[in-house]
Amino acid sequence: MVKAVPGATDLAMLIAGLLLLPGLLPGADAAEALTASAGETDLWQQPGAMSADWQAYQQQSAADATRLQQQLQTELAAAKLTAPLPALKAKNFGLNGIDNPAALNAVLSYQTVLGGWSKRTDMQQVRKPGQLAGSEPAYIPTFDNGATSTQMRWLAAYYLQASAVEQAKIRTALTQAVQFVLRAQYPNGGFPQSYPLRGGYHDAVTLNDNVMTDLLNLLWDLANQPDYQWLAADLRASAQAGFAKGVAWLVSAQVVVDGKRTVWTAQHHPLTGAPVAARKFEQISLVSSESAAVLQLLLDKALDKAREQKPSSPGVLPALCSGIAWLQQHQIRDKVWQRHDTGSKLVEKKGAQIWARFYSLPQQQPVFFDRDGQVYSDVNQLSLERQQGYGWYQTNAKGVLKAWRKKPELAAQCGQIGGK
């Protein structure tokens, strides 16, 4: 379990202190959220050398980044280009899925040599030699905004209707993609936002926008769902092992405040699991929607596995009990959030349920951040641009609470263990 960190301490000094003793958890007491952006912090600074597995991971990442560049340079030389052609930008890749050979070939053409795909990139037409594989070069490839996991699911969904030749292409592409996901997974089970590593908060274990949960759901499906049964057995076994390792990380990273488990933050330090910030309007804070996605994953796919045998993550049920209780306690009832031309406001609506996107540490109260990093307790104190351009209140947690109500036997067990 990860405990909330003291806010008066510089992040780099804090991380350095945490790493003096291997396995030491972050600070004992919760405090104010740090205001320094992790985008301005080297998450890998520490005294002494990293362990061998982490050193190997960083060397692998650097080599893979070089491999990407070499592949592009090879294409540029073959096409006699002095600069890469830009990729077109598109929401949702310009596609809703693969349903014909042309779409298949186009999506496959954007798979990078490492096995992943990029975000915000139009993949309706076959990529030209020397053309970038993504509209944003820094995110080639990535897991952000559903990239890579989306293409993998599309390929599997199309497989049964594909021709024999197309199926062979899909098997090759999906095998490489699974290997890429497992290669990107940190030694402790977490996932960065992008791989190869690109620095700053992008290297944090990323729950924001459900990066981590999307990948773990995918790994579980790869190992267990019939849509992927044609994959090699050893690859499916590796996917199951990657899933178990990721679940173990989630259980260990659940933030503890005053000795009690709460939920998770949007980003956690790759080495220590401590909460870290991202952009200035995404400071350290507990998150409702991404935590709800974690709890749904544990409820649907981790709990039964933990019961069938000696659990790799024995804290799954306590994590669920505490997380569900936290969401129940921090919901805002009978109100909805409305945005308008001059700001936003909470409006009475009987029976409604919402949650703030962010909750402060250690107070666990709704908190809001502007682009300059200023912290506010009222959304109306934000600049108009931030009020209108960000989802400060959300309803995502309703789904897991509804699912939890259908499991009264689990709630009874929570009472027996005290949710600890």
Mean pLDDT confidence for 17-40: 32
pLDDT in tens, 168-220: 999 999 999 999 999 999 999 999 999 999 999 999 999 999 999 999 999 99
Which of 171, 279, 339, 371 is catalytic? The answer is 279
Give residue 46's pLDDT. Answer: 75
The answer to whether 127 is a known catalytic residue is: no
pLDDT in tens, 127-163: 999 999 999 999 999 999 999 999 999 999 999 999 9
Strand duo 375-376 + 286-287: pairing? unpaired
Give residue 32's pLDDT. Answer: 27
Give residue 224's pLDDT. Answer: 95
pLDDT in tens, 396-415: 999 999 999 999 999 999 98
Of the residues 125, 155, 186, the one at which a domain ends: 186
With respect to residue 303, please indicate whether it lies within any of the assigned structural domains.
no
| pLDDT band (50, 70, 90) for residue 418 | low
pLDDT in tens, 29-62: 233 233 334 445 789 987 677 899 999 999 999 9
With respect to residue 409, please indicate whether it lies within any of the assigned structural domains.
yes
Sign of CA dihedral 167, 172, 173, 177: positive
Give residue 7's pLDDT. Answer: 32
Cβ contacts of 205 within 8 Å, gap of 6 or more: 186, 190, 191, 192, 212, 249, 253, 267, 268, 269, 270, 273
The answer to whether 380 is a known catalytic residue is: no
With respect to residue 167, please indicate whether it lies within any of the assigned structural domains.
yes
Q: Which tokens is 399 given?
A: 């789904």
CA angle 65, 141, 131 (to 5 degrees): 90
Of the residues 124, 153, 186, the one at which a domain ends: 186
Give residue 12's pLDDT. Answer: 31
The larger pLDDT score, comparing residue 417 to residue 229, is at: 229
Mean pLDDT confidence for 289-305: 91
Mean pLDDT confidence for 16-24: 27
Average pLDDT of the residues of the chain: 88
Report the share of the chain in percent with pLDDT over 90: 79
User: What is the distance in angstroms between the CA of the first residue and the CA of the last residue of the chain?
Assistant: 11
With respect to residue 193, please indicate whether it lies within any of the assigned structural domains.
no
- Which residue from 172, 85, 158 is spatially nearest to 125, judged by alpha carbons? 85
| pLDDT band (50, 70, 90) for residue 1 | low
CA angle 365, 420, 324 (to 5 degrees): 50
Max Cα–Cα distance, the chain, nearest Å: 69
State the residue range of the domain holding 326. 322-417
Of the residues 186, 215, 243, the one at which a domain ends: 186
Ramachandran area for residue 80 (φ above 0: left; ψ -120 to 50: alpha; else beta)? left
- Which residue from 199, 255, 214 is spatially nearest to 38, judged by alpha carbons? 199
With respect to residue 168, please indicate whether it lies within any of the assigned structural domains.
yes
Q: What total of structural domains would you count in the chain?
A: 2
Instruction: Give Cα 286 distance to the centre of its chain.
Output: 14
| pLDDT band (50, 70, 90) for residue 314 | low
Contact 373, 35 (CB under 8 A): yes
Mean pLDDT confidence for 257-281: 94
Q: Which tokens is 73 given?
A: 């340079």
Which of 120, 127, 145, 236 is catalytic? The answer is 145
Residue 64 predicted with pLDDT over 70: yes
With respect to residue 139, please indicate whether it lies within any of the assigned structural domains.
yes
Give residue 4's pLDDT. Answer: 52
User: What gap in Å lies between CA 59 and CA 278, rounded to an integer?
Assistant: 24
Give residue 389's pLDDT. Answer: 87
Mean pLDDT confidence for 84-105: 96
Give residue 89's pLDDT. Answer: 97
Give residue 286's pLDDT. Answer: 98
What is the SS3 string spanning the chain? CEECCCCCCCHHHHHHHHCCCCCCCCCCCCCCCCCCCHHHCCCCCCCCCCCHHHHHHHHHHHHHHHHHHHHHHHHHHHHCCCCCECCCECHHHHCCCCCCHHHHHHHHHCCCCCCCCCCCECCCCCCCCCECCCCCHHHCCECHHHCCHHHHHHHHHHHCCCCHHHHHHHHHHHHHHHHHHHHHCCCCCCCCCECCCCCHHHHCEECHHHHHHHHHHHHHHHHHCHHHCCCCHHHHHHHHHHHHHHHHHHHHHCEEECCEECCEECEECCCCCCECCCCCCCCCCEECHHHHHHHHHHHHHHHHHHHHCCCCCCCHHHHHHHHHHHHHHHCEEEEEEEEECCEEEEEEEEEEEEEECEECCCCCCECEECCCCCEECCHHHCCHHHHHCCCCEECCCHHHHHHHHCCHHHHHHHHHHCCC
With respect to residue 366, please indicate whether it lies within any of the assigned structural domains.
yes
pLDDT in tens, 341-392: 888 989 999 999 999 999 999 999 999 999 998 999 999 999 999 998 889 9
- Whether pTM > 0.85 for this model: the answer is yes
For the chain, give the number of residues: 420
pLDDT in tens, 223-256: 999 999 999 999 999 999 999 999 999 999 999 9
- Which residue from 4, 75, 372, 131 is spatially nearest to 381, judged by alpha carbons? 372
With respect to residue 225, please indicate whether it lies within any of the assigned structural domains.
no
The larger pLDDT score, comparing residue 272 to residue 21, is at: 272
Q: CA dist 30 to 136, 278, 362, 366, Å?
A: 37, 19, 5, 16
